[in-house]
Amino acid sequence: ITNFMTGQRFLFAIITYIIAFSTLSAQTPLLQNISGRKTTLLDGLWQSQVDVYGVASQERSGLVKDRKPVKYQFNGENLRNTELVEQDLDVAEQLKVPGDWNTQRENLFYYEGNMWYRKKITLNPQAGKRYFLHFGAVNYEAVVYVNGTKLGQHEGGFTAFQFEVTSLLKAGENKILVNANNIRGENKIPTNITDWWNYGGITRSVNLVEVSETFISDYFIQLEKGKIADIKGWVKLEGSQKSQNVTIEIPEIGLKQTVKPDTSGFAALSFNVKKLQLWSPENPKLYLVKLTSATDTITDKIGFRTIETRGTDILLNGKPIFLKGASIHEEAPFRTGRAYSEGDARTLLTWAKELGSNYVRLAHYPHNETMTRMADEMGLLVWSEIPVYWAVKFEKPDVYVKAETQLLENISRDKNRASIIIWSMANETPETEDRLKFLKKLIDKTKSVDDTRLTAAALFSKASKGLQTIEDPLGEYVDVMGCNEYIGWYTLPAELAPTIQWTSKYNKPLIMSEFGGESVAGLHGKADEIWTEEYQNRIYENQVKMFDNISFLRGTSAWVLMDFRSPLRLLPRKQDFFNRKGLVSDTGIKKMAFYTLKRWYQTK
């Protein structure tokens, strides 16, 4: 019986593994630094078709007996009225890419389902070159076809993915077809219920990337943990000529080193550097870094800094730092919808700067690359996270794979950004054994691919009689404890905050990763009238007094920089499907609390 059970379990494990990986079939490793490569931008208007039932991927045969199957010919031409074909993308409505569909057409505002996107593009592929079709993000699932061939699929709405299309492209017209669906599910990451709008579609740029047959696919170039004069990392070649040398140059400091990759194309990097100006919020110095092989060249702008903890301190370049900031959703200022542009990033990060921030928490999922690159340039430290949010099915192995995939894709894209100091695993998750195992595994995974940064999670504290204690068992495994608390909004009167004693089971730094309350910009009244700016401001006035009393507090990210759309926020005239906890409204009005927090940040 035991043997039989073991065999059965083994089989089950294998099947689970196959299922898990067959649904995550986009090719990895991701190409590093898309903006530094030769690309054809495929943004703009795409033909689109709503498909509520998701039927168009198959012929609708067999639905009604004795009738001819109806054809959906996304991949061929529509046969102009000579045959029954119930679809015509040539004349269908268009959608902008990048962009969510919800804010592009009124009748798609609440839409959660399948959408077909098609782009025709004239190309002249060069012999000897390789081509990759790269998506910045599609929420939530994407199935991609080129010229009628299915390339594969990708799950996870906020991370990049790519497919090699070298053998499929032809001279002349090429067709790219994408089925995007944003159907929620309890076994997905995130799950069914989130406090943000489930914007669907091709929400980030699409690029066709051209590379040489053998090319520099990826590299990791950062300072070694705790060492301000030692650059460490690796470079990876793909292609048939993997043994060619790769030269790494940082011309400004006269660095030039050549390495020889092993047979898999991998070469470790390690050099001692002198006179390096360290990256910091005060001096966000980025260096031009150039990688050259016989067949490829790529340049990037990279900053160098160290980040560590010592007891309850966070050390940036060896010196204690207090993180002053706000949490930010990837919500577009002024127009709502998913943010994606340089203008969006500039507006949001400029507000953060005006608040006096040296740090931002990019909640609750990986934001677009423009955002993290701009944080590098503007000198904002970043907490980066994946949507392991609320009631995740922690007990399911396939759910773990989804979370780990998103984590690795996030780290893969942003590992060279000096701004990113924290990889966060989860937000407000229940304290169960399954969850602890799941998140510990994610932390171990993170450390195995990037040991230069800190790990964190947004936890809860336990309240009892004037005491707030952090004792979540996950505290043992993270480098930095995040805590979300809503004293003055969801719990306790605001005025009690300064009287509360904070304690922690762990000798680690604490970041108050969320705090705040809602207000309607421009709505004024007494400080005890909920929804007024005064009410929200009162919460902040008391919060900052409390913060001054927490000996192990090393950072704060207010919830939230800007009002954002959420299906959870139903109250007409006040919320109208917006979470109004912004310090700034979605129309750019700074609320009273903005200035209160700014004043406190000036004292830090």
Binding to ligand GCB in span 500-519, by CB under 6 A: 514
Q: Give the Cα separation of 344 and 365 in Å (integer).
A: 17
Please, which residue, 133 or 328, has the CB nearer to ligand GCB?
328
Q: Give the Cα separation of 201 and 96 in Å (integer).
A: 10
Please, which residue, 118 or 329, has the CB nearer to ligand GCB?
329
Binding to ligand GCB in span 559-598, by CB under 6 A: 559, 579, 581
Q: How far is the CB of 479 from ligand GCB (least distance, A)?
A: 20
Q: How far is the CB of 284 from ligand GCB (least distance, A)?
A: 28
Binding to ligand GCB in span 294-313, by CB under 6 A: none
Total number of residues shown for the chain: 604
596 three-state secondary structure: helix
Q: How far is the CB of 531 from ligand GCB (least distance, A)?
A: 14
Is 428 one of the binding residues for ligand GCB (CB under 6 A)?
yes
Q: Which single residue is written with the structure tokens 């050099």?
A: 271
Q: Residues 484, 537, 556, 575: which binds ligand GCB (CB under 6 A)?
A: 484
Instruction: Count Cβ atoms within 10 A of the Cβ of residue 261 and give its class: 0-12 exposed, 13-18 middle, 19 or more buried.
Output: buried
Q: How far is the CB of 136 from ligand GCB (least distance, A)?
A: 23
Q: How far is the CB of 484 from ligand GCB (least distance, A)?
A: 4
Is 485 one of the binding residues for ligand GCB (CB under 6 A)?
no
Q: Give the Cα separation of 283 and 267 in Å (integer).
A: 31
Q: Give the Cα separation of 473 and 436 in Å (integer).
A: 7
Q: Give the Cα separation of 342 and 337 in Å (integer).
A: 15
Q: How far is the CB of 514 from ligand GCB (least distance, A)?
A: 5
Binding to ligand GCB in span 359-418, by CB under 6 A: 364
The residue sitting closest to ligand GCB, measured at its beta carbon, is: 195
Please, which residue, 194 or 368, has the CB nearer to ligand GCB?
194
Classify residue 92 by its DSSP letter.
S
Binding to ligand GCB in span 158-197, by CB under 6 A: 195
Please, which residue, 289 or 458, has the CB nearer to ligand GCB?
458
Is 198 one of the binding residues for ligand GCB (CB under 6 A)?
no
CA-to-CA separations, 37 to 217, 222, 297, 449, 500, in angstroms, rounded: 10, 21, 9, 24, 53
Please, which residue, 271 or 460, has the CB nearer to ligand GCB?
460
Q: How far is the CB of 361 from ligand GCB (least distance, A)?
A: 10
Cite the DSSP H helix spans in 300-454: 342-354, 369-378, 397-414, 433-449
CA-to-CA separations, 597 to 274, 525, 582, in angstroms, rounded: 39, 20, 12
Q: How far is the CB of 439 from ligand GCB (least distance, A)?
A: 16
Residue 266: which of 234, 239, 292 has the closest Cα? 234
Binding-site ranges for ligand GCB (CB under 6 A): 195, 364, 427-428, 484, 514, 559, 579, 581
